[in-house]
Chain A
């Protein structure tokens, strides 16, 4: 609706010759609504982006000052950059075996997380729904869940290696078993908290169980589910690095371990920053997805 209006404004502005000194002022005045919106957006973005940038810069300076002395056990940021320049600027090389660019390592890790986490999301929501819906399922399963969820992820690895006799499925299993608990528990809480009113509506309208699940349960419990899914993705990214250190092969976890074995401390630091950034992005992705899906659910 506002498109034609903006167009006429733009063409009206374009008419006066640009050489006149004054038009700069009139232009901003005339295009006020649009320019103002941009200015506000820029301001808001700056307010969010500038403070962390300053903090990071300060930390880098302090780190540089501390680690620049001779005999320091860790490299300063300048040296890290110099050592890892090739890895940063060429993430796609592939010399066979595990001698690959960081892109390949990260994508291998992300792939394992994708498999394990997707399975966990499906199983977690299904089991959570069962436990939330049925009192007997809760009585039977909840104590079991409470015990199993306290087992550290890596403690599952030897057992899964014994069961699967292969690194890849074992790593995926570790991701699954790590991230499934918060999804189950939060989904169950969400299902249990569905207001009786919604159940009554469903009963009067005579929704069948499948319709009740898709039309009432999922949307009503979605905010809780996404809390669980968000915790789950964080945990699975935590677990993959540790698991890969043990199973070896291509993957960011083993890359770090390999770098340590060859005393390439700078590479470890680079890999850690990638792991952190990707973990952050994954968390934001799930949070953003949750925001879109649960729009309107929370407000009543």
Chain B
């Protein structure tokens, strides 16, 4: 089978001095092109580590990541990351933050005017074109995350990696941004791998939900298909049996079979 993105027998062990901790154990996952996959698990289960391995920011101890059958082990714009805390550079304007990536990725393939238009195009995709000359400190948390998404999208990644992208936002802003991401996924057909700890978010957005057991030595406990038609509407789903069933499955996994003992 030709998997688009393949996580192949990934183990990750952290060594500090003489103490070694096995964080991830034998992670296998294949993701098809255009698929939206969420990884959910309790905090500390190593899901962010897994995303960092896919992004190439952390190396795997064993195993590896294959993107279109080629191994990737260093970070690159083909796997753009939307970071949890937006990570915009505070000394650059919104426009310049997005342009930083665009200038690198399209240095040879696009002219200066084309790159400029491309930055603006991506800012308008996330409805942030009006704030292009603002600095990150002058816009709200939700807007910062929109710019973070625009920066990642503008690199035309093969896989978009979202690291708890809505975690730091209030509930209303989060819902709004989730709808935006859904609309973008619908429109652009990106392949997306998202880390989350929010059950509703996972069910609402994903085609498949990967549930991780608790660490240390976290594994993939279960993979759940979400058989809901797109486009999905938040309000309609609230009473949809399929939605509720999926939600129930994830909740059972997280709180019955793998409840987090040291919950803090």
| In the complex, A38 has a CB within 8 A of chain B | no
Given A197-B83, A296-B137, A204-B77 contact (CB < 8 Å): yes
Q: Would you call A299 and B155 a contact (CB within 8 A)?
A: no
Give A171-224 interface residues, CB cut-off 8 Å to B.
197-198, 200-201, 203-207, 211, 215-216, 219-220
* CB-contact partner of A206 in B57, B77, B89, under 8 A: B77
Interface size class of B (residues with CB under 8 A): 20 to 34
| In the complex, A297 has a CB within 8 A of chain B | yes
Given A204-B77, A205-B77, A207-B104, A198-B87 contact (CB < 8 Å): yes
Query: Considering the chains assembled together, what is the distance between the CA atoms of A215 and B92 in angstroms?
Result: 9
**Which residue of the partner chain B has the closest CB to A205?**
B101
**By the criterion of a CB under 8 Å from any partner CB, how many residues of chain A are at the interface?**
21
Minimum Cβ distance to chain B for residue A94 (Å)? 47
Give A286-300 interface residues, CB cut-off 8 Å to B.
294-300
* CB-contact partner of A296 in B56, B91, B105, under 8 A: B91
Which residues on A sit within 8 Å (CB–CB) of B129? none
Query: Considering the chains assembled together, what is the distance between the CA atoms of A129 and B77 in angstroms?
Result: 26
**Which residue of the partner chain B has the closest CB to A294?**
B91
Q: Would you call A205 and B100 a contact (CB within 8 A)?
A: yes
| In the complex, B85 has a CB within 8 A of chain A | yes
| In the complex, B120 has a CB within 8 A of chain A | no
Minimum Cβ distance to chain A for residue B48 (Å)? 12
- Most chain A CB neighbours (cut-off 10 Å) among B87, B91, B100, B135: B91
**Which residue of the partner chain B has the closest CB to A200?**
B57
Pairs A–B under 8 Å by Cβ, sample size 17:
A197-B87, A198-B89, A200-B81, A200-B83, A201-B100, A203-B56, A203-B57, A204-B57, A205-B77, A205-B105, A206-B76, A207-B100, A215-B100, A219-B89, A220-B91, A297-B90, A300-B90
- Interfacial residues, chain B to chain A (CB-CB below 8 A): 55-57, 74-77, 79-81, 83, 85, 87, 89-91, 100-101, 104-105, 135-137, 155
